[in-house]
Amino acid sequence: MLCATRVARLFLSQSMAFLMGCACVLAQGEDAAVVKPQQRIEKLDDGTYRLGKIAFDQKTRVVSFAAKVNMNIGYLEYILVNEIIGKTHESLLTTEISPMDLNVVLLLLGYEPSSALEDQAEDVAIPAAPKSSLDIAVEWKDSKGKVSTVPVESWVLNVATEGPVENGPWLYNGSKVTDQGGFAAELDGSIIAIYKDLRSLLNNPREGKTSDEIWKPSTDQGLPAKDTAVTVFLRPHLSKPKPSQSK
């Protein structure tokens, strides 16, 4: 039986081999070859790329994908989970994307998983890190066709402070490899956690992340109705999203 260290190394070597194949596809430009039968990177007409249901821009390092509003009331432990296998009863948003695909895209774009959350002994805010901190925004259309974009944290209420969650980045921690060699985020469907979850792909770096009783949907901040379709954008921290505007 493989020990945890050997399993982690095996998983890492397989992931790196896949990423090298992906890099070759991007380098070929027009020739988007098949890396694996079930995993293919496509080059889109606008020069961006797609892996599964995830679009990404190699130059700007912006990632985008479809999701929908899942909760308007109740306590939250997640911002985003997979709609089939994730903990949908406590997630603000749900999506069809694969956590594994998103992890591959983030690594391919040069983001680096941080161990700061795992290493932290006390519940204090984790400072932003250039290669591990991402700003997350959501875009949606209202019934009149107006398109709006806001930081996703503006849709969450901090009960402890009686105000919206502080604007700022989210931490890419990269999930974990299980003792059996599986990718935890893919197994759980956990993508963005607001309540500390090392098995999730991204986490909340703010103070209060160890409490599962202070995060709620914030309907006062313009949160759309349940099942409203949205687009989620992940981008390097400090590359601010454009102000809300009509189209």
CB burial of residue 77 (10 Å; 0-12, 13-18, 19+)? buried
* Nearest by Cα to 73 from 95, 94, 89: 89
3-class SS shares of the chain: helix, strand, coil, % to 5: 20, 30, 50
- pLDDT of 161 > 50? The answer is yes
How high is the mean pLDDT of the chain?
A: 85
Residue 131 DSSP one-character state: T
The mean per-residue pLDDT over the stretch 113-119 comes to 94
Label residue 27 by pLDDT band (50, 70, 90).
very low
CA distance 170 to 165: 12
The mean per-residue pLDDT over the stretch 211-226 comes to 92
Task: Say which residue, 5 or 60, is predicted with more confidence.
Answer: 60
pLDDT value of position 39: 53
What sign has the CA pseudo-torsion 90, 93, 99, 103? negative
What string of H, E and C letters represents the secondary structure of 52-93? CCEEECCCCCCEEEEEEECCCCCCCCEEEEECCCCCHHHEEE
* Nearest by Cα to 139 from 26, 209, 233: 233
* Nearest by Cα to 190 from 109, 103, 115: 103
- pTM comes to 0.83
- pLDDT of 21 > 70? The answer is no
Q: Which helix (H) or strand (E) segment is 204 a member of?
A: none
The mean per-residue pLDDT over the stretch 207-218 comes to 95
pLDDT value of position 221: 79
Q: Indicate the domain borders of the chain.
A: 47-236
